[in-house]
Amino acid sequence: MNGIDNSISPARATHASLWRNPQYRAWFTADTASAIGLAMKGFAISLVAFSLTKSLPTAGWLTTASLIAAQTADVFGGTLVDRHRRKRLIILNAICGTVLWGAVFALLASGLLTFPMFAVVIVVASTINGLLGNATNAMLRSIIPTSDYPKAQSLNQGRDSVISLAGSPLGGVLYAFGAWVPFAVASIMYAIAGISAGMLHVDEHVRSAIRRDDGERDARGSFVDDFVAGWRWTLRRRTLMAMNAIAALLNFGVNGIFEAVQLQLVGSGVDSVRIGFVSTAVGAGMLIGAVIAARVCDRLAVGTGLVVMSVAALATLAPMIVSHAYPVMLVSSLLCGLPVPTINALLMGFIFAKVPTDMQGRVDSSSNLICMLPTMFCSAIAGSLLPAIGFRATVTLFLAALAANVAIVLAMPAVRSIPAADHWNEAEL
């Protein structure tokens, strides 16, 4: 904040207050265990798919199918999350994760897993996570005050960075030991998430009414009424829709390049440990970026952060056009991760602060669909183009999306003018 000596860090005081909250500690443990489980199984999916089929397009399309299933379910998941007790949904999601990934572990370990069986489990697990996964983030609004959210988000970004830093090489080592091991670890992590969620004792303020457009509260409506109300609320916020469109291009460009990198390495026969170190490089960049985010996210304007992120994504990944050497991939990945925690904290904090508590799940799901719709096809596009046109041409396609995003951000003053956190109450979503 302005006028305060940074040597007495307000971030430190806020972090301390968060850790003194037992409900936040239980929430953070559940969220962290789920994130570790996601990292473990996520790393191994394309490797297992390729080992079962020996086909890059098939491995790419399986990842795309899982994303389509998750995003389709997420469209309805936000309404589900807003209508039911979020703690119960978190526990149910953890139980499903424990059972499904435990089944993959058992089938792989016994040599009985076939590609059709694996594909069914992946799609089913993605669908369940799409329906229930938003409950964790939506519940945070009932645990901490809005003013603490940017700092809580910076903590989450730091946590995610550590998981990326250690998770992928660890996943590579575990996979090298046995293809079933990452899935066994994922199953255990989801079990821990369910146990931690069971320790939450929070007044969730479960809705018994719906906030209508005229500001009045009417009797609780049907699922369809709530679903339509959520989309109507989202689509009428011009700044939110602009931010979603920008995020969609960023996600498509960045994720497309990283999908191309992973599939290129898989197809080239690179060992799983070295493949994992690409995600480690991203995680290292994000870990450094999370330290920066904790210091600046209270003061940096959202619009400025979005411009920086857009330019940085294009600039840091562009060297892959010139070379697809492994060191170039690592350095570009590390640099690309640096600004991510700051912009995530700013964008998510701004939206979190402006969306009513009873709309958190629905706005999150509708925004996620818009932001992730092009990204769902990144793996399929990369897997199909790599054998046909090569790595550099494939990367060029995704970089073109990032270049278009930079032009859009610079041309939209409504987005560039979104202020810092202490002036969010003056800004429109």
> pLDDT tens across 255-281, in order?
899 889 988 888 888 887 788 788 778
**Region 43-53 average pLDDT:** 84
Q: What confidence category does residue 9 fall into, taking pLDDT thresholds of 50, 70 and 90?
A: very low
What's the one-letter identity of residue 30? A
pLDDT at 415: 86
Q: What confidence category does residue 344 fall into, taking pLDDT thresholds of 50, 70 and 90?
A: confident
- Of 145, 189, 147, the closest CA to residue 167 belongs to 189
Q: Specify the pTM.
A: 0.67
Residue 177 domain-assigned (yes or no): yes
Q: Which is more confident, 98 or 12?
A: 98
Residue 3 domain-assigned (yes or no): no
Instruction: Take residue 23 and report the two structure tokens written for it.
Output: 């409900």
Q: What are phi and psi of 210, to 5 degrees?
A: -120, 135
pLDDT at 349: 79
Residue 110 domain-assigned (yes or no): yes
Q: Which is more confident, 129 or 147?
A: 129
Query: How confident is the prediction for the chain on average, in pLDDT?
Result: 82
What's the one-letter identity of residue 184? A
pLDDT at 6: 40
pLDDT at 204: 61
Which of 108-117, 143-152, 273-282, 372-381 has the largest mean confidence? Answer: 108-117
Which of 79-88, 134-143, 253-262 has the largest mean confidence? Answer: 253-262
Question: What are the Cα distances from residue 335, in Å, to 16, 18, 195, 281?
Answer: 30, 30, 37, 8
Residue 359 domain-assigned (yes or no): yes
> Which CATH number do you get for residue 193?
1.20.1250.20
**Region 39-44 average pLDDT:** 77
**Region 330-340 average pLDDT:** 89
pLDDT at 174: 81
Q: Is the dihedral of CA 383, 110, 99, 170 positive or negative?
A: negative
Query: What is the rounded CA–CA span in Å between residue 27 and residue 196?
Result: 7
What's the one-letter identity of residue 99? V
Residue 211 domain-assigned (yes or no): no
SS3 content of the chain, % helix, strand, coil (to 5): 80, 0, 20
pLDDT at 16: 54
pLDDT at 195: 94
Residue 127 domain-assigned (yes or no): yes
Q: How many CA atoms lie within 13 A of 46 on its CB side?
A: 30
Residue 137 domain-assigned (yes or no): yes
Q: What percent of the chain has pLDDT over 70?
A: 89
Q: How many CA atoms lie within 13 A of 334 on its CB side?
A: 10
Domain ranges, residue 418:
10-203+225-426
pLDDT at 332: 92
Tell me which of 165-169, 285-289, 330-334 is least confident: 165-169
pLDDT at 428: 81
Is the pLDDT at 172 greater than 70? The verdict is yes
pLDDT at 169: 67
Q: What confidence category does residue 217 fall into, taking pLDDT thresholds of 50, 70 and 90?
A: very low
Query: What is the rounded CA–CA span in Å between residue 163 and residue 410?
Result: 33
Query: Nearest-5° angle of CA 194, CA 199, CA 204?
Result: 95
Q: What confidence category does residue 206 fall into, taking pLDDT thresholds of 50, 70 and 90?
A: very low
DSSP for 185-228, written as a single string: HHHHHHHHHHHHHHT--------SEEE-TTS-EEE---HHHHHH
Residue 333 domain-assigned (yes or no): yes
- Of 270, 274, 275, 271, the closest CA to residue 259 belongs to 275
Q: How many domains does the chain have?
A: 1
Tell me which of 29-33, 43-47, 377-381, 401-405 is least confident: 43-47
